[in-house]
């Protein structure tokens, strides 16, 4: 399948679906490893939500002529993926995973709130559903950012370090493709710039309730490339692991 598509709907939905699939897989890696039981369950639940969301997107892509969801999810290699690099980074320590979850899911919630009035009705219908579910993701992230961002000196220092490290990757969420002008003019989506400004406002409000300092975003260099198939060394091993069963036996049930 082509990396760049003529149809702006396909271009947009691949980016959404791949973000959800890859972050869903990363979240699932906390299963059995969470720092407390509730967090183990939370990250596993969000993994399940994200896989469900990506299945909705891949199903809509299939309706537009793309391959079956399983084929699309399990048979592409890293250069064919449209996810931002933020979602593919290893889970690292809990402070990083939490910070990534906070930065990503605020953007995701705002994105689907905007998509609820997309000119492409099938996408708008799904968005109206997913935005409700995403509120729980944002609520969860806010709770823990506030809790750890106002806790001990060590907690605050680690969260600040994670925030500084993760922000340039998070800015990569808003990397545009050639389809951007048409995506906006056709009313498909408000566009990445608008989303970014809503996102900055939203995360700044939460961070203001913590001891964490929001770095000056204009001085940061966004980590771009993911939307155009340029990925970190961490994506391909993830794909190999995710697709291991499918590649052994594409007809297997599991």
Partner 1 sequence: MPVTIPDKAQILDWLQAVKDPEIPTISLIDLGVVRGVEVDEATGKVSVHLTPTFAGCPAMDYMKRDVERMLLAHGVPAVEVDISMREAWTSDMLTEAGRQALRQHKLSPPPVLGNQVLDLDFLEYAECPNCHGNNTELRTPFGATLCRAVHYCHDCRQLFEQFKPV
Q: Residue numbers of the site for partner 1 (CB under 8 A)?
A: 38, 41-42, 44-46, 48-53, 55-56, 125-126, 128-130, 132-133, 135-136, 139-140
Least distance to partner 1, CB of residue 42, Å:
4
The backbone torsions φ and ψ at residue 86, rounded to the nearest 5 degrees and listed phi first, read: -50, -45
Judge whether 84 and 227 are in contact, CB under 8 Å.
yes
CB 131 → partner 1: shortest distance, Å? 9
Distance in Å, CB of 115 to partner 1, minimum: 13
Measured from the CB atom, the residue of 54 and 99 that comes closer to partner 1 is 54
If we measure between CA atoms, which residue out of 23, 38, 30 comes closest to residue 85?
23
Are 208 and 36 in contact by the 8 Å Cβ rule? The answer is no
Q: Computed over its alpha carbons, how large is the radius of gyration of the chain?
A: 18
Q: Which of 133, 2, 108 is closest to 64 using CA atoms?
A: 2
**In the structure encoding, which two tokens stand for residue 93, read together?**
């320590």
Which residue, 63 or 221, has its beta carbon nearer to partner 1? 63
Smallest distance from the beta carbon of 84 to partner 1, in angstroms?
Answer: 21
To 10 degrees, the CA torsion angle through 179, 184, 186, 188? 90
Nearer to partner 1 by Cβ, of 49 and 88: the residue is 49
**Min. distance of Cβ 41 from partner 1 in angstroms?**
5
Smaller CB distance to partner 1: residue 56 or 118?
56
Q: Which is nearer to partner 1, 72 or 167 (CB)?
A: 72
């Amino acid at each position: 399948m082509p990396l760049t598509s003529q149809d702006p709907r396909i271009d947009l939905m691949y980016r959404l679906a791949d973000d959800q699939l890859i972050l869903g897989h990363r979240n699932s890696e906390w299963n059995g490893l969470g720092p407390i039981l509730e967090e183990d369950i939370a990250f596993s639940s969000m993994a399940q939500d994200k896989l469900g969301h990506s299945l909705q997107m891949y199903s809509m892509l299939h309706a537009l002529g793309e391959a079956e969801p399983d084929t699309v999810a399990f048979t592409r290699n890293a250069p064919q993926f449209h996810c931002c690099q933020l979602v593919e980074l290893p889970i690292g320590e809990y402070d990083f995973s939490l910070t990534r979850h906070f930065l990503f899911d605020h953007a995701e919630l705002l994105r689907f709130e905007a998509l609820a009035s997309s000119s492409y009705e099938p996408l708008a219908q799904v968005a109206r559903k997913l935005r409700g579910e995403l509120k729980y993701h944002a609520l969860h992230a806010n709770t823990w950012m506030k809790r750890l961002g106002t806790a001990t000196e060590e907690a605050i220092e680690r969260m600040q370090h994670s925030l500084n490290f993760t922000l340039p990757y998070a800015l990569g969420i808003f990397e545009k493709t050639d389809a951007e002008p048409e995506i906006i003019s056709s009313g498909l989506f408000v566009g990445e710039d608008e989303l970014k400004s809503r996102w900055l406002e939203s995360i700044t409000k939460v961070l203001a309730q913590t001891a964490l300092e929001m770095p000056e975003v204009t001085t940061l260099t966004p980590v771009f490339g993911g939307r155009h198939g340029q990925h970190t060394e961490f994506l391909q091993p993830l794909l190999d692991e995710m697709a291991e069963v499918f590649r052994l036996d594409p007809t297997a049930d599991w």
